A and B are shown apart, each in its own frame.
Chain A
Amino acid sequence: PSYKDVVPGPGEHPLQYTYCIWYSKKQPGRAQDAASFEKNMNVIGTFCSVEQFWKIYSHMIRVNEMAGHSDIHVFKGGIKPLWEDKANRLGGKWIVRLRKGLVARCWENLILAMLGEQFMVGDEVCGAVISIRFQEDIISIWNRTAGDEQVTSRIRDTLRRVLNLPPNTVMEYKTHNESLKDKSSF
């Protein structure tokens, strides 16, 4: 069924958008082109109300218990979490690298800010990603227009506020075009 078929249940609080949660795990020892990356991505839930979100979220594995090289993407319905998607092609993302142990709280705060429309940048936000790696965890938020500095600055400032990060935390912006060129996300 399409994300468009999901509707809020009776008495539920609707969200501004419908979202899909995608899970992907890197296949060890294999090069990742877009096609194989996409093949390893699965939608594990779709929601359009606050209550539907919590229902899915409470059944998901806790991010601090996720092992290995895995990613969870929460993206607006109709946008694939791929650099090549038409919503992302001209976009980019803010990247925050976190030491192990900090990520669960930061991820939840990021998701709640996105679902609650706290970024105040219209339709610009495409989705958010948590990437579990061996040495560190990385969270990122993707937006449509990398070239709009007013938008990217506003996202950065909101991100800094809602994540309540230690003062020395580095935030980097990377365009998806750069990622396509160097074939690397971070």
Chain B
Amino acid sequence: GTRIIYDRSFLLKCRASPMSN
């Protein structure tokens, strides 16, 4: 099935602003 993939920069962006896309 489809897997939920995130790259490092996206994960770090979520840290900076938790509700960003």
Point out residues on A near B: beta carbons under 8 Å: 11-16, 50-51, 54, 58, 109, 112-113, 115-118, 162
Number of A-B contacts (CB under 8 A): 40
Closest to A111 in B: B11
Query: With the chains together, A112 CA to B21 CA distance in Å?
Result: 17
A117-B5 in contact (CB<8A): yes
B5-A116 in contact (CB<8A): yes
Choose from B3, B7, B12 the contact partner of A16 (Cβ within 8 Å). Answer: B3
Query: With the chains together, A15 CA to B12 CA distance in Å?
Result: 14
Within 8 A of A (CB), among B1-21: 3-8, 10-12, 14-15, 18-19
Q: Given the complex, which residues of A lie within 8 Å of B15, measured CB to CB? A: 54, 58
Query: With the chains together, A153 CA to B19 CA distance in Å?
Result: 36
Known: A11-B19, A54-B18. A117 touches B11 (CB 8 A): no
Closest to B4 in A: A16
Query: With the chains together, A51 CA to B18 CA distance in Å?
Result: 6
Known: A12-B18, A50-B14. 16 other contacts (CB 8 A): A13-B14, A16-B4, A16-B5, A50-B6, A50-B11, A51-B14, A58-B15, A112-B8, A112-B12, A113-B8, A115-B11, A116-B6, A116-B7, A117-B4, A117-B5, A118-B5
Q: Given the complex, which residues of A lie within 8 Å of B7, measured CB to CB? A: 116, 118
Q: List 12 A-B contacts (CB under 8 A).
A: A14-B4, A16-B3, A50-B14, A51-B14, A51-B18, A54-B14, A54-B18, A116-B8, A117-B3, A117-B5, A117-B6, A118-B8
Query: With the chains together, A14 CA to B10 CA distance in Å?
Result: 13
Query: With the chains together, A151 CA to B8 CA distance in Å?
Result: 22
Closest to A50 in B: B14
A15-B4 in contact (CB<8A): yes
Query: With the chains together, A113 CA to B6 CA distance in Å?
Result: 8
Q: Given the complex, which residues of B lie within 8 Å of A16, measured CB to CB? A: 3-5
Q: Given the complex, which residues of A lie within 8 Å of B12, measured CB to CB? A: 112
